[in-house]
Structures are given as C-alpha cells and as structure tokens.
Amino acid sequence: MNANRLSLSNVFSVVLLLGLLGMTARPATDPDLWWHLRAGQMIVATGHVPHSDSFSFTRDGQAWVAHEWLSEVVFYELWKYGGAAALIVFSAMVTTAGFLLLYLRCLARGGMRHWAAAATVFGALAAAPCWGVRPQMFTFTLASLLLWLLETGEDRPRILLWIPPLFLLWLNLHAGFALGPALLLAYGAGLILETAFGNTPWPEARPIVIRVLLLLLACLVLVPFNPSGAQLYRYPLDTLRSPGMRSLIGEWFSPDFHSMLYLPFMLLWLAVLTVLAGSRSRPRGRVMLPLLVTAFAALDAVRHIPIFVLVASPVIAAALSVPSASSALSQRTSDLSRRRPLFNRAVVILIAVFALLRWVNLARGQQAHEAEQFPEKAVAFLRAGRYPEKVFVYYDWGGYAIWKLYPEYRVFVDGRADLYGDELLRQFQTAVHLQTGWREVLDAWKVETVLVPPSCALAQALVLDPEWHVAFSDSQAILLLRRHRAV
C-alpha cells in the first residue's frame, strides 16, 4: 500500500504542481512593481488609500484611482518581511493556483490526466509573456476560480454563492475585475444560444441562466464597495479606450507572431481551430461564446492571452481524450507505475529540486536583474546629491524612480498611464522622440533634470545642447541637468 502511494495519477498532479511553481517564477523587475511598493508603503504608514497623486510633478494633487490598493499592501508587506524572494515565491504560487484550477477544469471536461496536464502546460507556455510579480496575476487566478465555480455550479448550485465574495476581493485587488461580469455575461449569453439552436432544452437551461443573471447583478451592485467608490464603474472602460496606453505599454500591443515568444500562443490558436474543425461534436454555446470573445481579445492585446488560455485549454484537453485509447493507456501506465514506485518518487524529487533551485537562483540574481533593467547607478548618484526635483525620467523607469527617489524627487510620468491621460503621454513621446515641439514640453513643465537611456533621441540632442550638461553617464543611463539651474 505504502509502496504504491505515488500512483501515476498522483505523480501527474504533483509533477504538474511543482513544475508550474518553477516555470511561473519570475524576477521582481516589472516596471510597475516599484510604484506599487511605494503606494503600499504609503497605505500601511497612513492607514488610508490615496485618492490624489503625490509621486509626480505633472499630476501632483490631481485625482488618482488607486484600484490596486490591496495588491499594493500585500506586495509591500511581503517585501518588508521577505524582500524580493518573498514576492517571487508568492507570485509563482498565485499563478500556479490559477493553472491548477485550469487543470481541474480540463479533467472535468472528460480529459484524461496526461492530456489535461499537457493542455495545462501548453497553456502555461502560451501565457508566459504575461507572467511576473504584478497584480495582474490575481486577475488570472481569480478568473480561473470564477470559471471553475461556474462550471462546478451547474451540478452544485450552492457553490455559486462564493462568486460575490470572490468578486468583492477581486475588485479591490486589480481593475481586471471587469473580466468577471464579462465572463458571466458571455457564459449566460452562450447558454441562451444553446437553447435557441435547440442544443439544450429551455427548462434545463432556465435555472442556470437565472442564477448567472443574478450573479451578474450582484457583482455589478458590489462594484462601489472599494475605496474609489463608483468611479470603478467607468475605470476599466476608460482604460480600454486609451490610445496613450496602447502606444506606450507593450502588453497592450497585439502579439507579434514574428517573435518566438508568442509561438506557443500561435500554436494554441491553431490547436483550437483544428479541434473545432475536426471535432464531431461542437462545444456548447456556454463554452463557444466565451472562447470566441477571449480569442479575439488575445489577438488584440497580449495581456488578454492568459484569459484565452483559461477558456481554450479545456476545449483542447477534451478533444484530445479518446476514451477507449486513453483508458487503455491509463491502465498500462498505471500497471507500470505500480512496478516502479521508486521511479515515481525520483521524478517528483527532481521536479521539486528544479522548482527550489529556480526560486533560489531568481532570489540571488535579483540585484543583477534590477541593475540590468533599471538605472541603479544613476539613481544612486541622484540620491547622493541635491539636484532639481522635477525629473523627466524614461517611462519604464518612472516606477523605479518613485520607489528609490520619492519624496525628494518627483517624476514626469510613470506606469500609471491612466492617471496621466493621453495628452500628457503624447507630450512625453514628443519630448523623448524629438518630435516637433519637444523643447516646449521641457520648458513648459520647467524640467531641469533628465534621466533617460543614452541611446534615446532626447539624450543625444541634450548632450549637444549648450544649456545642458552631463552629470552622470554609464551604459544604462544618462543624467542631464540644465546648466543655469545646476547645483
């Protein structure tokens, strides 16, 4: 009995868990992490969620919707007590939880364990460009939990009562909470389509539709239960309509299929098309409509790929599972498993070592990763002296500057694109790319300190400008000051 405790079915689950814990770990270097940490520190210190900006000089005192306040508190507390290592491990665990729920849904669709595991890992590879130490991981996992609750609730309706409290937590963690009502709506509309095409009798579908509509209404009613109140009704829509965010933030770009980074996503898309074209039985409307919506959303913006993975992977797993062949394979491999318990244990131990070494290496390499992506030495130079406090800093470095330099220095812009708005983001691009009117932007905001990459067009122009001089320069960054204001 004890010798066979690690059966093949258990090995699949344990190996998947440990493998994902290693695969999903990323260094704590997301550009927005730093201002999240500073905001979390402020909330913990004051006991209040900020409603106006104080980190920048361009939007100082203006309204700011801190929609990720709870994530920021969690991140800061983890950083305070465990440093980058705690953030790396925690984010990997949150992301892995989302994939394990996906694995359970693949199994529930009739998928055999090996195909369910394969579909889950394949989906994890497709979603890899979005992994990181960031609040968006909460949205991924909570969306995965929502879908699991919805599908499980078809047979166990009482479990759906967990969705409103889940949504209340979600809307205080990340603005991606808007995906909750969207998925509920797509699920309910797909179910209605099933009845319209005669695939599901209305008496059978009606109670499910009513429950979904009640859940949708409950979620919409709960939206104001956050520190920003009813502003969150329009916040996600304003974000989606922002041209400035789509022009500056890489995850809002469409996936570039010329890059190997998005090859797994392209293969996932092709696998879905193959499954839909070759399957004798089409997925039900409650599956098909969310699949179509999330598929086109993922083609529109990289940040939506993980949500598409949550919907597409169970469809692929169900199609790959052929009952007769899969059952025979399962029986043969189970017999093999019983004859090789030591092999099963060895596999589990090796994957556990892989995950642990991955965490340790990322934690040890954190400082090197920071120095590679952010202007560590230039920021240290600023901290050591007294220079003009208005810093025109490169967009991806804005959050880092807030974490390292606030309150002595304030930035022009940072990753909070929603705060700055399209007009100010256009001004930033005008200056950094030397477009017509770039000098007027610097003069109008009385910019006296510029911190950008040496290759930046603005840096090359100011190096040749007699009104500016280089205060610090290395391969990562260049710091320029106005001569007549230099200290």
Assess whether 266 and 408 both reside in one domain. Answer: no
Q: Is the pLDDT of residue 340 over 80?
A: no
Assess whether 321 and 381 both reside in one domain. Answer: no
Instruction: Give the span between the Cα atoms of 5 and 265, in whole angstroms.
Output: 36
Look at residue 328 in the predicted model and tell me its pLDDT.
Answer: 47
Entry field: residues in the chain: 487
Look at residue 341 in the predicted model and tell me its pLDDT.
Answer: 67
pLDDT, average across residues 357-380? 94
Q: Is the pLDDT of residue 218 over 80?
A: yes
Q: Where are the alpha helices (DSSP H) in 24-112?
A: 33-46, 69-108
Last residue in a domain, options 289, 316, 341: 341
Last residue in a domain, options 341, 357, 385: 341
Q: Report, in angstroms and rounded to the nearest whole number, the Rg of the chain calculated over CA atoms.
A: 25
Look at residue 7 in the predicted model and tell me its pLDDT.
Answer: 57
17 domain residue, yes or no: yes
Which 8-state DSSP code applies to residue 2? -
Q: Which of 93-107, 298-312, 337-351 has the lowest mean pLDDT?
A: 337-351
20 domain residue, yes or no: yes
Pairing, β 449-452 against β 478-482: antiparallel
- Nearest residue to 109 via CA among 263, 333, 275, 265: 275
Instruction: Give the span between the Cα atoms of 411 and 426, in whole angstroms.
Output: 16
Contact by Cβ (8 Å): 456, 468: no
Assess whether 138 and 24 both reside in one domain. Answer: yes
Look at residue 485 in the predicted model and tell me its pLDDT.
Answer: 47
Q: Is the pLDDT of residue 139 over 90?
A: yes
Q: Tokens standing for 414?
A: 């940072």
Assess whether 188 and 233 both reside in one domain. Answer: yes
pLDDT per residue as tens digits for the range 415-434: 998 899 889 999 999 999 99
pLDDT band with cut points at 50, 70 and 90 for residue 253? confident
Collect all residues with Cβ–Cβ distance below 8 Å to 162 and sequence separation of at least 6.
149
Instruction: Give the span between the Cα atoms of 254 and 304, in whole angstroms.
Output: 10
pLDDT band with cut points at 50, 70 and 90 for residue 3? very low
Assess whether 107 and 212 both reside in one domain. Answer: yes
307 domain residue, yes or no: yes
Output the DSSP codes for 306-329: HHHHHHHHHHHHHHH--HHHHHHH
pLDDT band with cut points at 50, 70 and 90 for residue 343? low
Q: Is the pLDDT of residue 487 over 50?
A: no
Q: Which of 74-83, 105-114, 395-404 has the lowest mean pLDDT?
A: 105-114
pTM across the whole model: 0.90
Pairing, β 410-411 against β 390-393: parallel
Assess whether 301 and 156 both reside in one domain. Answer: yes
Assess whether 176 and 284 both reside in one domain. Answer: yes
Assess whether 392 and 457 both reside in one domain. Answer: yes
Pairing, β 468-473 against β 390-393: unpaired
Look at residue 313 in the predicted model and tell me its pLDDT.
Answer: 94
Q: Where are the alpha helices (DSSP H) in 365-432?
A: 366-373, 376-384, 398-405, 417-432
Q: Is the pLDDT of residue 9 over 70?
A: no
- Domain membership of residue 84 as a residue range: 8-30+65-341
Three-state DSSP class for 355? Answer: helix
49 domain residue, yes or no: no
CB-CB neighbours of 52 under 10 Å: 12
| Residue 291 or 322, more confident | 291
- Nearest residue to 62 via CA among 384, 310, 419: 419
421 domain residue, yes or no: yes
pLDDT per residue as tens digits for the range 160-190: 999 999 999 999 999 899 999 999 999 999 9
pLDDT band with cut points at 50, 70 and 90 for residue 255? very high
Q: Tokens standing for 305?
A: 């790929």
Look at residue 171 in the predicted model and tell me its pLDDT.
Answer: 95
**Terminal-to-terminal C-alpha distance of the chain:** 77
What percent of the chain shows pLDDT beyond 90?
72
Assess whether 294 and 202 both reside in one domain. Answer: yes
State the average pLDDT for the chain: 89
Assess whether 246 and 173 both reside in one domain. Answer: yes
Output the DSSP codes for 182-210: HHHHHHHHHHHHHHHTTSS-HHHHHHHHH
What percent of the chain shows pLDDT beyond 70?
91
b/e 314-345 (16+ beta carbons within 10 angstroms → b): bbbbbbbbeeeebeeeeeebeeebeeebeebe
- Nearest residue to 29 via CA among 135, 140, 127, 133: 133
Assess whether 190 and 137 both reside in one domain. Answer: yes
380 domain residue, yes or no: yes
Assess whether 274 and 403 both reside in one domain. Answer: no
Number of domains in the chain: 2
